[in-house]
Structure 1
């Protein structure tokens, strides 16, 4: 590559691709959880479309959000919302926004089961 190609300015640099996943089946009737959620540290990268539960058991992690699991016994066995962006929880707790209502593509969601569908009363799944 010749420097004159860019009139002495740096070239385009490294090309990075990013996968965009749309979990909403429609932009109608969507609503987010007011104030957002606090994702608990140490869960790795939680992807957009992950079903989220909230820890309600007493302890240092009370009221923090984690990936929903119907097998949990700390409160996170109840689905609360659906994550609207990817978040890396590896280094620390992190604030996030999430949907509590909308029309969603079931095949694009992580952790969706019959109990989560029942708990997410304002969500429709196609």
Structure 2
């Protein structure tokens, strides 16, 4: 379709939906990691609410994995928006403090809860 068919306005497009998931149980007492994080390429779409660890060798963040031995076995923060790392490293923001709904977090376990000292879980 040509844009002239709609007097210069964009033409018809497919309508999509987006699911909004709130991982914060309260908007009080929240803080983000200053400067954000650099998510490592190759982890696909990382969902909001994913617990992140930092790979020691690269300084890049990946989803936390308790059984890892590359540094990502230590929970550092929680991602605050979906990010697609399929093709490239990408900057993102992440929480280091807040009150979170545990049932809506990805990768949370007792060790992560202990490591995330400024976070409270309900």
Among 73, 77, 83, the alignment partner of 2:73 is: 77
**Pair 1:125-2:121 in alignment:** yes
Give CA-to-partner distance per residue, 1:27-50, whole Å, 9 cap, x none. 000000000000000000000000
**Pair 1:63-2:51 in alignment:** no
2:69 match: secondary structure:
coil
Among 90, 106, 109, the alignment partner of 1:94 is: 90
Q: Which runs of 5+ in 1 are unaligned?
A: 1-5
**Pair 1:110-2:74 in alignment:** no
2:13 match: secondary structure:
coil
**Pair 1:27-2:27 in alignment:** yes
Structure 1 residue 15 displacement after superposition = 1.1
Indicate the residue corresponding to 1:37 in structure 2.
37
* Runs of 4+ off more than 2 Å: 6-13
Whole-Å Cα distance in 1 between the matches of residues 98 and 119 of structure 2? Answer: 5
Q: TM-score, normalised by structure 1?
A: 0.88
Indicate the residue corresponding to 2:3 in structure 1.
none
Indicate the residue corresponding to 1:17 in structure 2.
17
Matched residue pairs, number? 117
Indicate the residue corresponding to 2:47 in structure 1.
47
The structure number with the bigger radius of gyration is: 1
Whole-Å Cα distance in 1 between the matches of residues 95 and 8 of structure 2? Answer: 47
Cα gap change, 1:8/1:87 in structure 2, threshold over 3 Å: closer, same or farther? closer
